[in-house]
Amino acid sequence: MADNKLYDLVILGGGPAGATAALYGTRAGLSVLILEKMMVGGEIISTDRLDNFPAFPEGISGAEFGMLLQQQLDNLQVPVQTTEIEKVDFSGETKTIFTTSGEYRGKTVLIATGTEPNLLGAEGEEELVGRGVSYCATCDAAFFKDKEVAVVGGGNAALEETIFLDRFTSKIYLIHRRDKFRGVKGLQDKVLSLPGVEVLYNTTVKAIEGDNKVKGLQLNQDGQGRFLEVGGVFIYAGRTANAPFLAGVDLETTKNGFIITDEKMKTAIPGVYAAGDIRDKYLRQVITATSDGAIAATAAAQALFA
Ligand SMILES: Cc1cc2nc3c(=O)[nH]c(=O)nc-3n(C[C@H](O)[C@H](O)[C@H](O)COP(=O)(O)OP(=O)(O)OC[C@H]3O[C@@H](n4cnc5c(N)ncnc54)[C@H](O)[C@@H]3O)c2cc1C
């Protein structure tokens, strides 16, 4: 349900960036509202384990991290509205956000809606989404118990998800278009030590075949065509900024829609900030998302109280 209140800071997205901005904004004395279409925690809640976060020596499950974040927001009584952002109007001094549950207004706005997975672009991919084509092993691994599957990609996400899938599947073909991985060394070493994983370097997927469900992949391996029989394929082909609601808004972005900000997370529009994975940045991780959120809320508070 929409409300008539004019918030100091309206935060679009309740992932690590948005939730951290809410903590910092509230503690700085701002009235803050989070608009989130699913659950607080963002994309990390659907992953098995959050690694590389200080003070969690064994990592922590994504779901537990999300719950702790929600608890921290509850402790500060930060309102979270479950709703989907559809459109924004940033033209005036007051910013208006149009959502499936009505309009919300802010003196400042933080865009923190993260990213979405890129399609591989292979023939048959879109038709077979949910029928063996997946972009999230943690969500779908259980459907592939004791089956042979493929993972496509060479970055951290592909490597992490391969390690997770290996607990379920009988065999994983890890398909990578180059001759070495981009992911961190520790993950590479772990993946290469798994007996259930066979790496196919210099290989691309031309087509995903199957009628009602995936039956196999047409590959190009070292310049040679090959059919690989698998029951599923998990795709990690990079990510794109997730903000269709910004269509027509005059923000400075890269060609993939990543928002360009300055060091204080300010965008090209006064009063509009961006934080987390949706920014044009070097490293997309929880720690950099939380750091962006902290900076953005601090900068917004400083601007409002100046
Ligand atoms: C498989 C995988 C494994 C990963 N493992 C790690 C790891 O181990 N360690 C690590 O540090 N990082 C990891 N990451 C990266 C990490 O998840 C991201 O860097 C981090 O979640 C970014 O936070 P964010 O707040 O910018 O965006 P997100 O987490 O994407 O949050 C954005 C939020 O905005 C909401 N939203 C989007 N659109 C709308 C809309 N229109 N209306 C309302 N709400 C909307 C979404 O529901 C979401 O909650 C992993 C990522 C993946 C995909």
Residues 123 and 144 in one domain: yes
Q: What is the mean pLDDT of residues 26-48?
A: 95
How remote is the CA of residue 151 from the centroid of ligand 1, in Å? 20
pLDDT band at 245 (very low <50, low <70, confident <90, very high): very high
Distance CA 75, CA 63 (A): 19
Mean pLDDT of the chain: 95
Element (H or E) spanning 170, and its range? none
- Torsion angle, alpha carbons of 292, 295, 296, 302, to 10: 180
Q: pLDDT at position 139, please?
A: 81
Q: DSSP E strands: which ranges in the chain?
A: 6-12, 32-36, 80-82, 85-89, 95-99, 102-111, 115-117, 133-134, 148-152, 171-175, 197-200, 203-209, 216-221, 224-229, 232-235, 239-241, 272-274
Residues 16 and 58 in one domain: yes
Report the first-to-last Cα separation within the chain, whole angstroms: 32
* Final residue of a structural domain among 235, 258, 280: 235
Per the domain annotation, does 1 fall within a domain? no
* Final residue of a structural domain among 235, 260, 292: 235
CATH number of the CATH domain containing 281:
3.50.50.60
Indicate whether residue 108 lines ligand 1 (CB < 6 A). no
Q: pLDDT at position 255, please?
A: 86
Residues 266 and 133 in one domain: no
Tokens standing for 274? Answer: 């961006």
Minimum-distance ligand 1 atom for the alpha carbon of 40: 49
Which of 10, 35, 44 has most ligand 1 atoms within 8 Å of its beta carbon, as the pocket-test mutant?
Answer: 44
Kindly report, residue by residue over 56-78, the tens digit of the pLDDT: 999 899 999 999 999 999 999 99
Residue 286 and residue 10 in contact, taking contact as beta carbons nearer than 8 Å: no
Q: What is the DSSP string of 99-136?
A: ETTEEEEEEEEEE---EEEPP---BTTGGGBTTTEES-
pTM of the complete model: 0.88
Kindly report, residue by residue over 84-131, the tens digit of the pLDDT: 999 999 999 999 999 999 999 999 999 999 999 999 999 999 999 999
Kindly report, residue by residue over 178-190, the tens digit of the pLDDT: 999 999 999 999 9
* Final residue of a structural domain among 235, 261, 290: 235
Indicate whether residue 242 lines ligand 1 (CB < 6 A). yes
How remote is the CA of residue 26 from the centroid of ligand 1, in Å? 22
At CA 21, angle to CA 19 and CA 27, rounded to 5?
105
How remote is the CA of residue 53 from the centroid of ligand 1, in Å? 14
Task: Assess whether 74 carries a catalytic annotation.
Answer: no
Q: pLDDT at position 256, please?
A: 83
Task: Assess whether 140 carries a catalytic annotation.
Answer: yes
Residues 148 and 48 in one domain: no
pLDDT band at 1 (very low <50, low <70, confident <90, very high): low
Residues 110 and 83 in one domain: yes
Tokens standing for 169? Answer: 């599947």
Q: Does residue 2 carry a pLDDT above 70?
A: no
Q: Into how many domains does the chain fold?
A: 2
Q: Does residue 33 carry a pLDDT above 70?
A: yes
Residues 107 and 133 in one domain: no
Structural domain including 263 reads 6-116+239-305
Per the domain annotation, does 65 fall within a domain? yes
Residues 84 and 55 in one domain: yes
Q: Alpha-carbon torsion 171, 125, 182, 18, what sign?
A: negative
Residues 27 and 123 in one domain: no
Task: Assess whether 136 carries a catalytic annotation.
Answer: yes
How remote is the CA of residue 129 from the centroid of ligand 1, in Å? 21
Q: Does residue 46 carry a pLDDT above 90?
A: no
Indicate whether residue 16 lines ligand 1 (CB < 6 A). yes
Residue of 3, 51, 89, 136 marked active site: 136
Of 85, 110, 94, 104, nearest in space to 1 by CA: 104
Residues 68 and 15 in one domain: yes
